[in-house]
Amino acid sequence: MAFELPPLPYDYDALTPYIGSDTLKFHHDKHHAAYVNTLNNLTKDTELANKPLEEVIKATHNDSSKATIFNNAAQVWNHTFYWNGLKKGGGSPSGELAEKINSSFGSLEKFKEEFKNAGATQFGSGYAWLVLDNGELKVLKTLNAENPIVDNKIPLLTADVWEHAYYLDYQNRRPDYLQTFLDNLINWDFVAQNYAAAK
């Protein structure tokens, strides 16, 4: 069974003016699609072709002979997760998630500061993440395609800081993109669902 490109969970213009339709078209239809196609080509007629994406990521991580498979599998997963974490309007977390953020970081604003700093200081390409690690919320950053699940951390939210995620809208102003992401684009319902499932 071939890996498939999931459709965006919204229209191309659903996130404007924060992320424009051209960015979504290029990012999803070109970049994300290319990772899916490459992964299918690399795993065709192998035992990995029929495994769930998470298993492919874990099975190929830290295996230099399978680095290209890992990179493409992780990027397929990372992008799908990123799309689902976006929703125009943003807002604030509520309930248990809000309480956990306050207890872990001191306040929502402190969380935003830490998350923005993680994404802004990631040298080169990568991601900023909110994860659940042994019952504790943590912010971390990863390089290129790296994914926290290989370290048994549970992703709750990610911001893609590869340039193609924001350059058409923000040029080289990555901190501005991250601030907009934090204030106007987080799908807190998605984050809360991930948190509830992981507890």
Question: Do residues 77 and 55 touch, judged by C-beta distance below 8 A?
Answer: no
190/115 Cα distance (integer angstroms): 17
Length of the chain: 199
What local confidence, expressed as pLDDT, does residue 1 receive?
56
- pLDDT tens for 72-118 read 999 999 999 999 999 999 899 999 999 999 999 999 999 999 999 99
Q: Region 127-131: what's the mean pLDDT?
A: 98
CA atoms within 13 A on the CB side of 41: 8
What span, in angstroms and rounded, lies between the C-alpha atoms of 10 and 19?
12
Name beta bridge partners: 136: 133
Q: Which residues contact 103 (CB under 8 A, 6 or more apart)?
A: none
Q: What is the pLDDT of residues 52-68, one digit of tens each?
A: 999 999 999 999 999 99
The structure's pTM equals 0.96
* Encoded tokens for 95: 């309930």
- CA-nearest of 62, 81, 69 to 36 is 69
| From 7-11, 47-51, 187-191, the region with the lowest mean pLDDT | 47-51
The whole-angstrom distance between residue 134's C-alpha and the CA centroid of its chain comes to 20
* pLDDT tens digits, one per residue of 135-160: 999 999 999 999 999 999 999 999 99
CATH assignment of 95-198?
A: 3.55.40.20
**Ramachandran angles phi, psi of 163, nearest 5°:** -60, -35
Work out the pLDDT band at 187, boundaries 50, 70, 90: very high
Q: What is the pLDDT of residues 161-172, one digit of tens each?
A: 999 999 999 999
Task: Give the model's confidence band at 182: pLDDT under 50 very low, under 70 low, under 90 confident, else very high.
Answer: very high
Top CATH class, 21-84: mainly alpha
pLDDT, residue 199, reads 78
Q: Which of 45, 46, 35 is nearest to 6 (CA)?
A: 35
Domains of the chain, residue spans: 21-84, 95-198
